[in-house]
Structure 1
Amino acid sequence: MSSKQGLPLPMNTSLPEPAGALWPAIVRQTAHALDRGALLPIQTSRTTIDDGGVRFVVRQISSLARKEKDAQQRKAGSSGARASNPFLPYDPDLFVADISDTHLVLLNKFNVIDHHVLIVTRRFELQRALLNLADFRALFTCMTQFDSLGFYNGGPEAGASQLHKHLQIAPLPLDDTTSPLPIEPLLASARMDGSVGTVPGLGFAHAFVGFDPVLVSRPLELAHSAFERYMSLLAATGLHAVDVNGEPLQSAPYNLLVTTRWMMLVPRRAEHSEGISINALGFAGSLFVRNETQMDIIRTRGPMSILKEVAGTI
């Protein structure tokens, strides 16, 4: 069966039931997309670097040639930013599930981490737009189904590569050589009572808040709570809404890390340090470099120093 455009219809057409079936759907669609050649994983080599109480995972990317070629082809074939949008239309072979009337789940075409998915808005919204309640509902509808880390790169300066609003989810553990989340050991001393604060030992600028653990089984209630606390995190880091043609955009770039237990917002003052690009995963303890030169920089300076440079210090 095919769509009106002559493309094959996606294997899944709605969020699978019962709750908890999203993970098998991701696994099935991954196998399908690999078979079709639609999913193009980026191969890496990895090492760990201990710094500041965190065992950082640093992956050296073997080649970004396919990803860069894809971006160039889209740019060359478009007359504007929205025309080159890979999410409108999306590749049906990368489609996993409909979540709501506002969001859907896609596989990350050029994934470094296995089963990495994107939570994408159906209509075009800017990546610089503030997150809203619908974004959090979509995020937690997915994240409460399997152990995972959600994250958001608020604008190009925070590591976003697409203009269309999308959150991301990576299954945990991020790497089998460390704890499920590299920064997890430091979180043991963080306050989880719902008040906004910081994590002792994390020297880069950030604001942190815990969630009520009973809400993990109530995705919609958790989404409401997270949205309210997200607004508090913005205020705590000096960010606010800027009205642009009636749309609330962020006043400055930032990264957001989310689990079903806590959330952390990191304001950004630079996109990279010595050519090393940092996105939200960096603040979770997972870094990516393009070559051995960049790897040597991180070994010499230490990952925490790099994070402090792009985010500022407390």
Structure 2
Amino acid sequence: MLSVKVPANLPELVKAAFNRARASGDVHFFPTQVTLVNVNSIPFQLRFSPALASKPQVPQPPAPSPDAEPSAKEGRPRQPQKKSFFDPFDNPPEAMLITPLDPAHNLVLNKFAIVPEHFILATRAFKEQTDLLERDDLEAAYACIEAYHNSSENDDSGSELYVFFNSGPASGSSQPHRHLQMLPVRRMREGLDGGDGGAWDVLAGQLLDPGVRRRVPFSTFAEPIGPGADLLGTYLRLYRRACAAVLGPTAAAAGASQSEGRPDGEKEARVEYNLAMTRDVMAVAPRVVEGTAVTAAAEDGTGRKEVGRLALNGTVLAGTALVKTQAEWDALRAEPEQLLEILGRIGVPTVPAPSPL
């Protein structure tokens, strides 16, 4: 049984908080444009989200002190926990707070919403985004998923919740304070025309199918979950598989404690990755880069020019790619094969990446 209890009317609380914050200007949200792109026969959302252009740069963590703890990653000292950056999750303002989630978390609105009612589960005390998740993080996230599933607000599958986590810069992480992001699936369908709305579904929920996993251009690992599941055990197994994919099986196995069920003494993740959760599936995708350049034909016909960079976070495991400029949006719609190429480069490719256009 989950140790974290969330309000049964969570969807209504989120909706009310979002509407208030949008009206007061505390949340930045602009209606998005969306189209579907075929990625190896997988319908992938390409979503133009102008709100992302207003998002500030990633906060710079403080320089490491001489006595900082060693990092789990090679050759880099672990960052101290003393903060010298703006932390939106430290005592969040009333306008952004949806509800405290005892004993250790808050639910807050995402200031730069990509869909309406985009919200966040953040640890109340500062914890590192690059550390391994803990049992209470996963149980709190799943309790939110269950609240949406059980809500009477909607009678169809649109009442489900998609949860994702970005660990490390290559995963699209933009805030050092640990947080998981949450998107109502019915809101993720907004903007899709009738036929398209039925064609698209959350990618993570399909990743138990080996045929789907083979068609995804980057490696993914998935296991079934459900009420009463050992979420931490599932997460650690998937994390180790991601480590093996990036580091090799020998290095990934080093330090693992079979008796405790988690890497011995390991606190900071050794690889960067995205995590996704639905009610039925947990999935992890190891990451090596956040994204690559988007190009378009030069007006003078002399070749190609870079018009932007597509940066992908955990929404990629929902089958969604977010663009923030008109130039990127136009280029990727005109040449959707570019999206396939970029997806093949962000993690461990399932097939050799195609040559650049």
What's the TM-score, normalizing by structure 2? 0.69
Match of 1:41 in 2: 29
State the alpha-carbon separation in 2 of the partners of residues 137 and 90 from structure 1: 22
Question: SS at the partner of 1:309?
Answer: coil
State the alpha-carbon separation in 1 of the partners of residues 111 and 212 from structure 2: 34
Is residue 348 of structure 2 the alignment partner of residue 312 of structure 1? yes
Contact between 1:39 and 1:109, CA under 8 Å: does it hold in 2? yes
Residue in structure 1 matching 2:38, options 29, 50, 58: 50
Return the index of the structure with the highest Cα Rg: 2
Contact between 1:255 and 1:268, CA under 8 Å: does it hold in 2? yes
State the alpha-carbon separation in 2 of the partners of residues 184 and 247 from structure 1: 30
Deviations 1:238-262 (A, max 9, x none): 26699xxx77000011001111100
How has the CA–CA distance of structure 1 residues 247 and 102 changed in structure 2, closer, same or farther, with 3 Å as cutoff?
farther
Match of 1:117 in 2: 119
State the alpha-carbon separation in 1 of the partners of residues 207 and 240 from structure 2: 24
Partner amino acid, structure 2, of 1:238? C
Alpha-carbon deviation of 1:202?
Answer: 2.0
Residue in structure 2 matching 1:201, options 188, 209, 215: 215
Partner amino acid, structure 2, of 1:230? Y
State the alpha-carbon separation in 2 of the partners of residues 138 and 189 from structure 1: 23
Residue in structure 2 matching 1:260, options 272, 276, 279: 279
Write the mapping of 1:234-249 to structure 2, written as runs, cut at 5 A: 234-238=239-243, 248-249=267-268
What's the TM-score, normalizing by structure 1? 0.78
Write the mapping of 1:71-82 to structure 2, written as runs, cut at 5 A: 81-82=83-84
Write the mapping of 1:1-314 to structure 2, written as runs, cut at 5 A: 17=7, 19=8, 21-62=9-50, 64=52, 66-68=54-56, 81-146=83-148, 147-173=160-186, 174-176=188-190, 177=192, 178-179=197-198, 182-184=201-203, 187=206, 190=209, 199-212=213-226, 215=227, 221-222=228-229, 225-238=230-243, 248-274=267-293, 275-299=309-333, 300=335, 301-314=337-350
State the alpha-carbon separation in 2 of the partners of residues 161 and 42 from structure 1: 20
Partner amino acid, structure 2, of 1:263? M
State the alpha-carbon separation in 2 of the partners of residues 16 and 238 from structure 1: 32
How has the CA–CA distance of structure 1 residues 189 and 272 changed in structure 2, closer, same or farther, with 3 Å as cutoff?
closer
| RMSD value, Cα | 3.0
How has the CA–CA distance of structure 1 residues 304 and 208 changed in structure 2, closer, same or farther, with 3 Å as cutoff?
farther
State the alpha-carbon separation in 2 of the partners of residues 91 and 269 from structure 1: 35
Deviations 1:65-86 (A, max 9, x none): 5433xx69x88xxxx8544111
Q: Pick which of 287-296 and 127-136 moved more.
A: 287-296
Contact between 2:208 and 2:281, CA under 8 Å: does it hold in 1? no
State the alpha-carbon separation in 2 of the partners of residues 181 and 260 from structure 1: 18
Please list every run of 5 or more consecutive structure 1 residues that lacks an aligned counterpart in the other structure.
1-14, 192-196, 216-220
Contact between 2:162 and 2:183, CA under 8 Å: does it hold in 1? yes
State the alpha-carbon separation in 1 of the partners of residues 50 and 114 from structure 2: 10
Alpha-carbon deviation of 1:304?
Answer: 3.0
Deviations 1:93-127 (A, max 9, x none): 11111222111100111101111110000011111
Question: SS at the partner of 2:279?
Answer: coil
- What count of residue pairs does the alignment treat as equivalent? 276
State the alpha-carbon separation in 1 of the partners of residues 205 and 127 from structure 2: 35
Between the aligned residues of both structures, percent identity stands at 23
Partner amino acid, structure 2, of 1:161? S
How has the CA–CA distance of structure 1 residues 144 and 269 changed in structure 2, closer, same or farther, with 3 Å as cutoff?
same
Contact between 1:38 and 1:109, CA under 8 Å: does it hold in 2? yes
Please list every run of 5 or more consecutive structure 2 residues that lacks an aligned counterpart in the other structure.
61-81, 149-159, 245-251, 256-264, 294-308, 351-357
State the alpha-carbon separation in 2 of the partners of residues 103 and 231 from structure 1: 21
Question: SS at the partner of 1:208?
Answer: strand
State the alpha-carbon separation in 1 of the partners of residues 164 and 31 from structure 2: 22
State the alpha-carbon separation in 2 of the partners of residues 294 and 287 from structure 1: 11
How has the CA–CA distance of structure 1 residues 89 and 188 changed in structure 2, closer, same or farther, with 3 Å as cutoff?
closer
